[in-house]
């Protein structure tokens, strides 16, 4: 039995009841794994969300859409992590437990029933999928002001990749006088669209905090049979690569790829780089988690006299 869905592909309890079905059906479908409970009387068909590295983000995005379009009155403005979800701005370890909204009022915010209402107004909201969200620049600065340095840098790197400008981010940050603005300001000094993933931004943050010399990003090397582009390059002697195919202990292959073919391709690539006299250091998400990347990179920087 197919359940009715709205224009976002969301199963609404109110719509299900109007079609003559019961709450028991929704509960049984949720227990069986056919439905994902989004909260606020909303569900997503499990088949509408692909398993993989973006699963949690996709579910959270649907939850934000469900909350933002549930009422009959004026639609709220999504902000912070929720606005980032609609902008498809990748974040480092975002809080996906609550939907973030602007209250439209001054004063203090509050948290209630899976919602976090922040004080303030959105003067020029952006509309995505018929939902009002804070602008890309404001969203990135909002996130940068509530996170640590790595989270701030990741948000700002990502915003630049998506088309935000440094001037726009600086203008938005200039309006902030509360706690967190100093952290966002420091991260903005290092923001770079050349960091192409959350893992690369987190790597950069660890390098910066450790005082390592800055690397060139997305550098091409001319090898015998290919011209690979590398994530990080120091002095043309040391290359650093974040392996985004492996995260949380799982290997994510693109269509037509297998883990074995990925490993073989990367080995050929590294062999050609090493034939140029370049050392390649690779790391995974778990290496960033456990603080193993900086010591290894520093060891090779010293080997090549690229750092004192």
**179 and 109 both lie in a single domain:** yes
Measuring CA to CA, which residue among 304, 303, 299, 302 is closest to residue 236?
Answer: 304
Whole-structure pTM value: 0.88
Q: What is the pLDDT of residue 262?
A: 59
Question: Which of 188, 206, 224 is a domain's end point?
Answer: 188
Q: Is residue 94 situated within a structural domain? A: yes
Question: Which of 135, 170, 188 is a domain's end point?
Answer: 188
Instruction: Kindly give the parts of the chain with pLDDT less than 70.
Output: 1, 71-74, 105-110, 245-265, 267, 271
H or E segment at 251?
Answer: strand 250-251
Q: What is the pLDDT of residue 74?
A: 61
In the chain, DSSP finds a helix count (H) and a strand count (E) of 12, 15
Q: What is the pLDDT of residue 82?
A: 96
Q: What is the pLDDT of residue 249?
A: 44
Indicate the DSSP class of residue 76.
Answer: P
Q: What is the pLDDT of residue 131?
A: 92
State how far the alpha carbon of 144 is from the alpha carbons of 80, 124, 179, 213, 258, in Å: 9, 19, 11, 23, 37
Q: What is the pLDDT of residue 239?
A: 94
Q: Is residue 30 situated within a structural domain? A: no
Q: What is the pLDDT of residue 248?
A: 42
Q: What is the pLDDT of residue 178?
A: 73
**205 and 178 both lie in a single domain:** no
Dihedral sign for Cα 156, 159, 160, 161, please: positive
Calpha distance 178→166 (Å, rounded): 20
Domain limits for position 249: 198-303
Q: Is residue 93 situated within a structural domain? A: yes
Estimate the crossing angle of helix 136-146 against helix 166-173, to 10 degrees: 60
Q: Write down the residue that tokens 């960091």 correspond to.
A: 195
Q: What is the pLDDT of residue 247?
A: 47
Q: What is the pLDDT of residue 105?
A: 67
Q: What is the pLDDT of residue 216?
A: 95
Q: Is residue 43 situated within a structural domain? A: no
Q: What is the domain count for the chain?
A: 2
Measuring CA to CA, which residue among 7, 18, 136, 153 is closest to residue 66?
Answer: 7
Question: Which of 135, 164, 188 is a domain's end point?
Answer: 188
**218 and 272 both lie in a single domain:** yes
Specify the CATH number for the domain of residue 220: 3.40.960.10
Q: What is the pLDDT of residue 287?
A: 96
Measuring CA to CA, which residue among 190, 206, 191, 187 is closest to residue 283?
Answer: 206
Indicate the DSSP class of residue 113.
Answer: T
Which parts of the chain fold into alpha helices (H)? 13-18, 23-31, 55-68, 80-87, 136-146, 149-161, 166-173, 181-188, 198-210, 259-275, 285-289, 293-303
């Amino acid at each position: 039995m197919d359940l009715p869905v709205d224009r976002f592909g969301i199963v609404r309890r109110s719509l299900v009841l109007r079609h003559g079905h019961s709450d028991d059906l929704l509960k049984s479908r949720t227990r069986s794994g056919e439905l994902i409970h989004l909260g606020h009387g909303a569900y997503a068909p499990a088949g509408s969300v692909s398993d993989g590295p973006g699963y949690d983000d996709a579910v959270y995005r649907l939850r934000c859409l469900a909350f933002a379009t549930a009422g009959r009155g004026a639609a709220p403005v999504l902000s912070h992590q929720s606005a980032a979800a609609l902008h498809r701005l990748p974040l480092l370890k975002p809080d996906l437990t609550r939907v973030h909204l602007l209250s439209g009022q001054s004063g203090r915010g509050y948290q209630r029933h899976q919602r976090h209402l922040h004080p303030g107004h959105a003067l020029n909201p952006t509309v995505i999928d018929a939902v009002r969200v804070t602008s890309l620049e404001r969203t990135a600065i909002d996130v940068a002001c509530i996170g640590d340095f790595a989270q701030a840098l990741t948000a700002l790197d990502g915003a630049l990749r998506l088309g935000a400008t440094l001037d726009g981010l600086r203008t938005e940050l200039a309006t902030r006088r509360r706690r967190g603005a100093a952290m966002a300001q420091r991260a903005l000094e290092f923001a770079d669209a050349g960091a192409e993933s959350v893992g690369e931004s987190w790597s950069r943050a660890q390098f910066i905090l450790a005082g390592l010399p800055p690397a060139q990003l997305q550098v091409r090397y001319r090898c015998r049979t290919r011209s690979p582009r590398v994530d990080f390059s120091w002095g043309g002697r040391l290359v650093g690569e974040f392996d985004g195919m492996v995260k949380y202990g799982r290997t994510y292959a693109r269509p037509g790829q297998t883990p074995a073919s990925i490993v073989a391709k990367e080995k050929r690539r590294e062999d050609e780089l090493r034939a140029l006299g370049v050392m390649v250091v690779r790391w995974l998400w778990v290496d960033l988690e456990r603080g193993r990347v900086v010591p290894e990179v520093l060891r090779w920087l010293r080997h090549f006299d690229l750092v004192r």
